[in-house]
Amino acid sequence: MNILDKIIIDKKQEVILKKSIIPVSQLETSVFFERKTISLSQKLRESNSGIIAEHKRRSPSKSIINNNFTVEEVVKGYEDAGACGISVLTDGKYFGGSLDDLILARASVNIPLLRKEFIVDEYQILEAKAHGADLILLIAAVLTREEIKSLSEFAKNLGLEVLLEVHNQEELQKSIMPSLDMIGVNNRNLKTFEVSLDFSKELASQIPNEFVKVSESGISSVEAISELKPYGYKGFLIGENFMKTDNAGLAATEFINQL
């Protein structure tokens, strides 16, 4: 069993527990539930940099990346740097995140927020909306075509955008459907943690143009972005590269200025 399989087993248990404590009706009374969301796909189409900056404390492959910042410091720094959007990891066990991080981020900035999570249930999409997210992530590796369809349509009905993550041709082919806004290619193989920009390059031509193309993981230089832009990528998700520094916002500012 690989790390992704473990995460999904734990996540399904977690959702069952949460449902027993916080009913859907309570989520739907959140002050954020009627909030008009901000479109990340539109911001990426109009941007020259396309940076989606990530708040990430740790990961299964790297253990602790940075625990020294407050969420507010990080996300305000990213917004000031000119990021198009911010990805907020909300998984607790493996990434040290929480839904509180999402709420704090929403209270601090006015740019699109992605709930970065292992989504397996509509309940988690309601949580995302209730905690101020503008879009959700769906991971093709852990969902069937039918699940991708029902979860993405559910999100769209709530006014949330959908970023679908793939990292091979098979996942991409099973996933293409009108209820997605962005297709992200993860340059890190979630089963082996091997990282290569070739994943993004190889799949680029197979992603239809109506979807905004996003390259995720392993992007640590301006050169990498220059390399990917000719392949049609408009979005670049960067987390570790900023978070591992002493000042994530400053690192993002310097990076975006170089672009």
Measured CA to CA, the distance from residue 115 to residue 134 in angstroms comes to 8
Q: Which of 79, 127, 165, 240 is catalytic?
A: 165
The single residue of 56, 129, 213, 234 carrying the catalytic annotation is: 56
Q: What b-and-e string marks burial along 48-57, b requiring 16 or more CB atoms within 10 Å of the CB?
A: ebbbbbbbbb
Out of 43, 116, 213, 234, the active site residue is 116
- At 221, which amino acid appears? S
Q: Confirm if 89 and 116 have CB atoms less than 8 A apart.
A: yes
Known catalytic residue at 216: yes
CB 68 within 8 A of CB 253: no
Query: Which residues are 115's β-sheet partners?
Result: 88, 136
Catalytic residue list contains 116: yes
Nearest to 56 by CA among 65, 47, 46, 43: 65
Q: Which of 54, 127, 161, 171 is catalytic?
A: 54
Q: Which of 79, 161, 171, 216 is the catalytic position?
A: 216
Q: Are 183 and 214 in contact (CB under 8 A)?
A: yes
Q: Any catalytic annotation for residue 217?
A: yes
- Catalytic residue from among 129, 217, 240, 241: 217
Catalytic residue among 41, 152, 186, 200: 186
Question: Which tokens sit at 38?
Answer: 């901000």
234 among known catalytic residues? no
**Is 165 an active-site residue?**
yes
Catalytic residues: 54, 56, 116, 165, 186, 216-217
